Structure 1
Amino acid sequence: MLSTQLNFMSQGILCTGTLLLPEHVKQAPVIIMAHGFGLIKDVGLPEFAKRFVKAGYAVFSFDYRCFGESEGQPRHWVSPKRHLEDWKAALAFVRTLASVDTQRIVLWGYSFSGGHAIQTAAQDADVSAVILQAPHVSGISSLKGVPFTTLAKLSASGMMDLLGGFVNKPVYRPIFGRVNDVAALATAEAWDGYLSLAPALENWQNKTRARIFLELPLYNPIRYAHKLRMPTLVISGKNDSIIPESAIRGAAQKMPNAQYFMLESNHFELCIGSIFEKNIALQLHFLEQIFSLNKMNKAVA
């Protein structure tokens, strides 16, 4: 596996990505990956990327502006609008690479970035395929389980952040917490789940700009689901308390060319252990169906 750090520009700000290439496949199809709510490319994603590369695919993962190795201030700024701009910039950048097959591009999204992948693909018919893992599809459905008092406190924090932005004093709230904490994600699985993906990291903190809590109810990628005419794989967790399985299934039913699978998993178990193995097997089988990579590998050898 060949690994190279590459930079691209998004809205005038430098973003950093990692390009992984299989050693024995020339001009491989390329999978573009970015993380979900507030996380960075170095946690969780590498396990998926390694399996894709081993199977003969190239992978380009990147950090959003204000996260990880990418530049941008203030840090830890979760924003659908900004993330979608970064996805569009990353896609345009990958299409300039001579080392991959730019006619065979797959968008891969997990959780919040699943929503970004839906909207990005809906606006770009040249994307070959999409893989969605427990994707965010509806702001309202994702907020149904949040107590009203918590929503009120988060919304108030969002207003404070909007005001603080005028004097360069952003207001932050935790991304994840325990049940009843005032945090973006405070379900029973959120605390252990995030810690399983994001252990102590020097360039990551458990916080987000609070203005996201004003944007989140309005972010509904399900509105674009009917435009995904390329092959699409949608995987959900039956016991997901972050994004309801029913909402994901409803979005998949609107996609003209989608395969849908529900695993006995919560939101985070899709990334670990035996459920990860079932999950990645579904994804690799889907890609093989699309690209017939076994035949391609034999031809190269």
Structure 2
Amino acid sequence: MTREDIEFDSCGETIRGWFYPASGAEGPAPTVILAGGWCYVRELVMPYYAERFAAAGINALVFDYRNLGVSDGGNRQHLDPWAQIRDYQSALSYVETRADVDNDRLGVWGISYSGGHVLILAAIDPRIKVIVSQIPVIDGYRNMRRVHGTVGFRKLLSLVEEDRRLRAGSSGKQLYLAHASAVPHEEISAWPFPETYETFAALKASEAPGYENRSTVESVALLMEYHVGPFLGRLLQTPVLMIAAEGDDLTLWDLEIDAFNEIPSPAKRLEILPHTTHMTLYSDRGKLEVAAGHATEWFVTQLAAGK
């Protein structure tokens, strides 16, 4: 499938991505913006979804956040959730300038960390008419506390405090930690799951060489300030599809279901994928196919059907 290299400005930084034109479109077409989760670059899984959307007659734009991948940004591997949300909004502003985009039919898709971002985006940006939130992060503090366990969480907090003191000085230095580790009992990482390390290492070798298994420690501090809860009550009419994985103990499917139940919009749907973990939605193409099918059907129904 053809795709176009694109770039746009976001808060003074150049953001780069790919635009997938809608197949068979005659005139402006509905458009979905996609961005990834923790340390993701645009090559990671997202092109698969973008191709599915484009084949169904929906433009798709995949991009790297600032500080990651091929996008600009001097503080490399720094993950600020609000900066990432602003990058999504800048992507929306970019597609609004294109003649092949119908500005009245815009949607956003997110996975893991960005699965939370799209819930916030739908609450704060009226341009967004529909969203798909897949295995989202809901409450960063509770997430970190549960996945690290009591002793591990103590070590994580100590590292965050060490980094905060270092950054307060005049050295210009900061600390980094791994995204994931093969030996989480020996090495502090943001997401202490061996299967996360193994899956992303395989994806880096096969399709995403720009992926780096590290972030700033401050990124974790910002994650622990992150909570989508205050925004859910604003989703009064926005069509929301949430896709959860049965037994997901990485982004915590019980928190995801609680969040879904707090959304007042009558136009919402919850899909729980059986016999699926958080990471098999990256490593198992069969399970990815199921999730992509749900997302595609939702966007077609809400953005494209009958237009």
- The TM-score with structure 2 as length reference comes to 0.89
Quote the offset at 1:177 in angstroms.
Answer: 1.2
Aligned to 1:259: 269
Aligned to 1:287: 299
Quote the offset at 1:160 in angstroms.
Answer: 3.6
TM-superposition CA deviations, 1:80-110 (whole Å, max 9, x none): 1221221222222222222211110111000
| d(CA) in 1 for partners of 2:288, 2:82 | 30
Question: 1:245 pairs with 253, 261, 277, which one?
Answer: 253
Equivalent position SS for 1:211: helix
Equivalent pairs: percent with the same residue?
23
Contact 2:130 2:303 in 1 (8 A): no
Cα distance change of structure 1 residues 251 and 71 upon mapping to structure 2, 3 Å threshold = same
Contact 1:187 1:241 in 2 (8 A): no
TM-superposition CA deviations, 1:11-51 (whole Å, max 9, x none): 21111121110242131110100000111111111111111
Cα distance change of structure 1 residues 161 and 202 upon mapping to structure 2, 3 Å threshold = farther
The answer to whether residue 110 in structure 2 is matched with residue 138 in structure 1 is no
| d(CA) in 1 for partners of 2:17, 2:218 | 26
Quote the offset at 1:241 in angstroms.
Answer: 1.9
Contact 1:176 1:184 in 2 (8 A): yes
Cα distance change of structure 1 residues 240 and 230 upon mapping to structure 2, 3 Å threshold = same
Query: AA paired with 2:18?
Result: T
Query: AA paired with 1:288?
Result: V
Query: AA paired with 1:131?
Result: V
- The TM-score with structure 1 as length reference comes to 0.91
Aligned to 2:279: 268
Aligned to 2:149: 147
Contact 2:23 2:56 in 1 (8 A): no
| d(CA) in 1 for partners of 2:301, 2:4 | 28
Contact 2:147 2:192 in 1 (8 A): no
| d(CA) in 1 for partners of 2:251, 2:61 | 26
Contact 1:194 1:268 in 2 (8 A): no
TM-superposition CA deviations, 1:197-228 (whole Å, max 9, x none): 43375433210000122222220012211212
The answer to whether residue 228 in structure 2 is matched with residue 221 in structure 1 is yes
Question: 1:173 pairs with 160, 177, 201, which one?
Answer: 177
Equivalent position SS for 1:218: coil
Which 4+ runs in 1 deviate beyond 6 A? none
Contact 1:141 1:247 in 2 (8 A): no
Contact 1:10 1:85 in 2 (8 A): yes
Contact 2:32 2:107 in 1 (8 A): yes
Pairwise CA RMSD: 1.9
Aligned to 1:7: 7
Quote the offset at 1:153 in angstroms.
Answer: 2.6
Query: AA paired with 2:152?
Result: T
Contact 1:9 1:89 in 2 (8 A): yes
Query: AA paired with 1:212?
Result: S
Quote the offset at 1:168 in angstroms.
Answer: 2.7
Q: How does 1:1-301 map to 2 (within 5 A)?
A: 1-25=1-25, 26-143=27-144, 144-165=146-167, 166-178=170-182, 179-180=184-185, 181-199=187-205, 201-228=208-235, 229-255=237-263, 256=265, 257-264=267-274, 265-271=276-282, 272-293=284-305
| d(CA) in 2 for partners of 1:105, 1:292 | 10
Cα distance change of structure 1 residues 189 and 128 upon mapping to structure 2, 3 Å threshold = same
| d(CA) in 2 for partners of 1:140, 1:66 | 23
Quote the offset at 1:267 in angstroms.
Answer: 0.6
| d(CA) in 1 for partners of 2:10, 2:219 | 20
Contact 1:235 1:260 in 2 (8 A): yes
| d(CA) in 2 for partners of 1:172, 1:268 | 23
Consecutive unaligned residues of structure 2, counting only runs of 5 or more, are: none
Contact 1:161 1:209 in 2 (8 A): no
TM-superposition CA deviations, 1:42-90 (whole Å, max 9, x none): 1111111111111111001111111011011121011112212212222
| d(CA) in 1 for partners of 2:90, 2:164 | 26
Consecutive unaligned residues of structure 1, counting only runs of 5 or more, are: 297-301
Contact 1:174 1:208 in 2 (8 A): yes
